[in-house]
Amino acid sequence: PSILFDLEPGDIFVIRNVANLVPPFETRGDYHGTSAALEFAVTCLQVKQIVVLGHANCGGIRALMDNDGSIKPDSFIDSWMQIAEPARNEVLSREDLETPAQRIDACEKTAVSYSLKNLMTHPWIRSRVESGDLDLVGCYYDLHRGELVEVDEINAASLAAAD
């Protein structure tokens, strides 16, 4: 990510996980690795922007789209990918996506938007976004074309416009 955004190593705090997913806020013990890293970045480092970066040929999203929706009880991946199930369902309901490749591509981008929504369920993120101290940006990197595009954004101005 540092190279992609033309930054020096150490200029950004990077969290990596399967399919670049952000879990919703919860107090159970299921997904706290990513949540703890987010809390640290927002409350301790006082970051000004969170970028969720999806990408083409995401193996996690491909696995999600190839799955019938069932979860194997001993699979950490199946359990983790349930975070993106709303994105999968939205994409599968679209009639304009005719091929599996089109559906996977759409789900890679849609999952980014759902991760931004999930970020807003974390109280310490929501309060900083609402106060204008934090922006959330969803991006998608097309590995084949070398293109980076913004797919979604949540900030104080967009929240005010939605009200």
pTM for the full predicted model: 0.91
Instruction: Pick the more confident residue, 4 or 61.
Output: 61
Per residue in 16-25, pLDDT tens? 999 999 999 9
- Pairwise CA distance, residues 118 & 22, whole Å: 6
Q: Tell whether the torsion through CA atoms of 97, 20, 48 and 11 is positive or negative.
A: negative
Per residue in 120-158, pLDDT tens? 999 999 999 999 999 999 999 999 999 999 998 888 887
For residues 27-40, give the mean pLDDT: 84
User: Counting beta carbons within 10 angstroms of the beta carbon of residue 33, is it exposed (0 to 12), middle (13 to 18) or buried (19 or more)?
Assistant: exposed
Per residue in 43-58, pLDDT tens? 999 999 999 999 999 9
Residue 14, pLDDT above cutoff 80: yes
Could you give all domains of the chain from N- to C-terminal order, each with its CATH number? 18-162 (3.40.1050.10)
What pLDDT does residue 138 have?
Answer: 96
Instruction: Pick the more confident residue, 136 or 71.
Output: 136
What pLDDT does residue 29 have?
Answer: 67
Residue 26, pLDDT above cutoff 60: yes
